[in-house]
Amino acid sequence: MKTGDTIPTLLGVNAQGQEVKSTDFAGKPLIIYFYPKDNTPGCTAEACSLRDGYDSLRNLGYEVIGVSKDSSASHAKFAEKYSLPFTLISDPSTELNQAFGVWQKKKMAGREYMGTVRTTFITDADHRVTHIINKVDTKNAAAQIMKLLAESQQS
């Protein structure tokens, strides 16, 4: 997925086990963030930053969607534990991760494995990608997005 591409219609299943489609958010620009795993330090910091900035992002018209390969049940517990007000999508098959190009080879402690590369995609109201954040500041994810949106409005 690159700038200018339209996101897929079928996004996956939410924490309640219901299918989520981009058409559910017709006419709304989206912030879709991919993260490796529920309840890990970086992912929790990112989710809580987006939770804390959620009202500001919604005031700009955006809806927030988080995606990881965790199960819907894991997402439900994660959302409840941290009072996350936005949709979390379960992608156990990594189909959506692959469609967005964030399922990649990673390295940790000398071991190579496939995993989700933390990435945020911002779309317009027609769900075309307008921005991609590859270096996500997990503790300040919402502020990072707000700054990017403010800068792009000025240019």
Active-site annotation, residues:
43
Task: Report how far residue 50's alpha carbon sits from residue 5's, in angstroms, rounded to the nearest whole number.
Answer: 24
- Give the dihedral sign, CA 35/41/45/48: positive
Q: Which of 23, 26, 29, 28 is nearest to 9 (CA)?
A: 23
Task: Report how far residue 28's alpha carbon sits from residue 79's, in angstroms, rounded to the nearest whole number.
Answer: 22
Bridge-based pairing of strands 30-34 and 87-90 is unpaired
Q: What is the identity of the amino acid at 109?
A: A
Residue 25 DSSP label: G
What angle do helix axes 141-154 and 41-52 make, rounded to 10 degrees? 50
